[in-house]
Chains A and B, each alone.
Chain A
Amino acid sequence: MSQDTIARLKENVIQGRKTKDDEGVDDSLSGTPGVLELTRLALEEKVSPDIIVNHGLTAGMQVVGDKFATKEYFIPDMLASAEAVGEATAILKPYLEASNSEIKGKFTIATVKGDIHDIGKNIVATLLRGAGYEVVDLGINVPTEKIVQMVRENKPDFLGLSALLTTTMLAMGEVVRELEASGLRDKVKVLIGGAAVSDEYAQEIGADAYCVDGFHAIKMVDTFQQRKL
């Protein structure tokens, strides 16, 4: 029974159905329980939270990522899945903590000083939450000092910086330099993204990675996490 629940959970993640009232990608699951109902059901069936996350939620999101890459899915489809998974993760959080399971890392994200674009940043934040990371979103036009202070006090594993403009991307370099000056550079992996930046720019300013989009960001942070273990 519980195996069936996890398979259905994964299928509902792929469909982006948060609850039984959601339409999903097609109407094949109409009226049946969605991600949140199935997550609660799996807990009642005493499925370990690890299994729920890895075989249900994350496995489903991987399929969503593939479908997004091949342009079968578009932003609304991907966001529906990620939001459902994000809420399911919130339900699971106390169980994960109680069972001493490995909670994925902490991620702090911000659009840098001078830049007020937040669409890409918000999508990345939603996807990372969907992938099980604890995301703190500092918002837009965030001063370098505030970012450094956040790193110092909250000790995130990852710092994601976003900028759309060639003028504002310079602030990313400033953040990296300030982290170095404060002796915090080796405490956090810095990932950058946005229309203006590139792999070359990431190397130039000494960031740890450039991410093309949210799914790429998940791949990068997962890789960094695995290296740590």
Chain B
Amino acid sequence: MLIIGENINASTRAVAEAITTRNQEFVTELAQAEVAAGADFIDVNVGAGSSSSQDEARAMKWLVAVVQQATDKPLVIDSDCPEVIRAALNKYQGKRLIINSVTAEPQRLEAVAPLAAEWGSGLVALAMGTGGIPNSVEQRLDACEWIMTQLTRLGIKPEQIYFDPLVLPVAVDSKQALVTLRTIEQIKSRYPGAKTVIGLSNISYGLPKRKLINRTFLVMAAYAGLDAVIINPLDAKAMSLIKAADMLIGKGSRGYTRAYRAGAIVD
């Protein structure tokens, strides 16, 4: 499974402060820790709303430069604002990256998807439209179908697309974990070339011992066909479970033994 490190995100107070004060050392350490823990991609997010989009674009340019200086790993440019994404791309060194994200909202898709087409980059597509996150598998698949049609029209290949089936708290609606898992299965069977990605933490909102729930869900999602996960790679137990799960679903055993020899497997 592809590991996208989630830690450089301004929704965490310390990170927001480091970005505001342009604390290069803090960000560098965070990025290097994620890479050392096994992240394949580093997600970068400067947050939204606290300032103007120009400020956000400036913050994003700074963040991209600092993280790229800290590591050779490719980045996931995470913003719902097209100008911020464009600013990040202008600063970006190299060709391999993922843009996060578009939805089935026409305006946002038309602004962001052409950038992914131009760069040949990966593109996260959320299974939702203007009406928020749909409750059912069918409605989420409808959003995916619409997105697929639009992205194909814009010249984006299925291999570039990471569908995010979205995750709602199971505490609020007990069927929601299954909705996400079944949406993953359906996306994988309908669009064999396309990939799937989720962020985990929403699933456990409002419940005690959240990490346990996140990790359990992660293993189930692996079986459902999940290709990539946005996660805190410093969670060694979750990372170990990914290695074990990858082995158990037939992706080969060497990744597990290799990780074990590297001291990265905990039980």
Contact = CB atoms under 8 A, between A and B. Distances in A.
Interface of A: 71, 74-76, 79, 116-119, 122-123, 140-141, 165-168, 196
A167 B49 CA distance: 5
B17 to A, nearest CB: 16
B131 A141 contact: yes
A75 B133 CA distance: 20
A126 B259 CA distance: 47
Interface of A is mostly: loop
Given A74-B206, A75-B207, A76-B174, A166 B50 contact: yes
Nearest to A165: B49
B171 A74 contact: yes
Contact of B131 (A71, A76, A140, A168): A140
Nearest to A116: B132
A75 B174 CA distance: 11
Nearest to B103: A116
Interface string B28-58: 0000000000000000000011100000000
B132 to A, nearest CB: 4
A167 B171 CA distance: 27
Interface of B is mostly: loop
Interface of B: 48-50, 130-133, 168-169, 171-172, 174, 205-208
The 8 closest A-B pairs by CB, nearest first: A75-B206, A166-B49, A116-B132, A167-B49, A75-B171, A140-B132, A76-B171, A165-B49
B131 A119 contact: no
A34 B4 CA distance: 47
B48 A165 contact: yes
Contacts of B50: 166
A141 B132 contact: yes
Question: Which of B50, B132, B174 has the most chain A CB within a 10 Å cutoff?
Answer: B132
A21 to B, nearest CB: 16
A178 to B, nearest CB: 22
A118 B49 CA distance: 19
B132 A79 contact: no
Contact of B207 (A76, A165, A167): A76
A196 B47 CA distance: 13
Contacts of A76: 171-172, 174, 206-207
Given A74-B208, A75-B207, A123 B132 contact: no
A75 B169 contact: yes
Contact of A116 (B133, B169, B205): B133
A167 to B, nearest CB: 4
Contacts of A140: 131-132
A190 B48 CA distance: 26
Question: Which of A74, A75, A118, A123 has the most chain B CB within a 10 Å cutoff?
Answer: A75
Contacts of A79: 171-172
B30 to A, nearest CB: 23
A201 to B, nearest CB: 13
B147 to A, nearest CB: 17
A119 B168 contact: yes
A143 to B, nearest CB: 13
Contacts of A116: 130-133
Contacts of B132: 116-118, 140-141
A46 B133 CA distance: 45
B136 to A, nearest CB: 15
Contacts of B131: 116, 140-141
A110 B182 CA distance: 30
Nearest to A164: B49
Contact of A167 (B48, B168, B208): B48
Contacts of B133: 116
Nearest to B128: A116
A83 B67 CA distance: 48
Contacts of A118: 132
Contacts of B205: 75, 119
Contacts of B172: 75-76, 79, 119, 122-123
A195 B41 CA distance: 29
Nearest to A167: B49
Nearest to A126: B172
Contacts of A166: 48-50
